[in-house]
Amino acid sequence: DQQVKQNSPSLSVQEGRISILNCDYTNSMFDYFLWYKKYPAEGPTFLISISSIKDKNEDGRFTVFLNKSAKHLSLHIVPSQPGDSAVYFCAASANGGTSYGKLTFGQGTILTVHP
C-alpha cells in the first residue's frame, strides 16, 4: 500500500528550463511534506518542505506547491542546472513536528538535466 506515490520514474529536462516533479498521497492524516535529493553514493539530503497550512513554499530556485484537495504536491526547479541531476524523493509525515521524523517516502524520480 504505497501511501506516497511518485508516478514518474524519470524526467529529462534541458538546462535553463523548468523541472516539475510530482507527488501524490492517499493518507489524509499527512500534514507535513518534504523533498529530499539524493546523489549516487550519498545519502538523501533535505531540500525543501511545506506544512499543510500553506499552499506554496519557495527557496531560491526551488518551489513546492501543495494542493490538499487533490492530495498532490509538486516541486518546481527554475532554472534547472546540470548539478540538479539526482534522484528526488517526496516524503510525508502525520502530526508534523511531533512525529519524531517518521517519514513515508515515495519511490523517487530520477531527474536528468542536459547541458
Partner 1 sequence: DVKVTQSSRYLVKRTGEKVFLECVQDMDHENMFWYRQDPGLGLRLIYFSYDVKMKEKGDIPEGYSVSREKKERFSLILESASTNQTSMYLCAAGENEKLFFGSGTQLSVL
Residues 64-103, mask of contacts with partner 1 (x by CB under 8 A): -------------------------x-x-x--xx-xxxxx
Cβ(50)–Cβ(63) below 8 Å: no
* Cell (9 digits) for 19: 523541472
In 3D space, the residue among 19, 21, 17, 18 whose CA is nearest the CA of residue 34 turns out to be 21
Q: Kindly determine how many residues on this chain lie close enough to bind partner 1 according to the rule CB under 8 A.
A: 27
Residues 18-57, mask of contacts with partner 1 (x by CB under 8 A): --------------x-x------xxxxxx--x--------
Q: How far is it, in rounded angstroms, from Cα 34 to Cα 36? A: 7
List beta partners, residue 35: 48, 90
Q: Which residues make up the interface to partner 1 (CB under 8 A)?
A: 4, 6, 9, 32, 34, 41-46, 49, 89, 91, 93, 96-97, 99-108
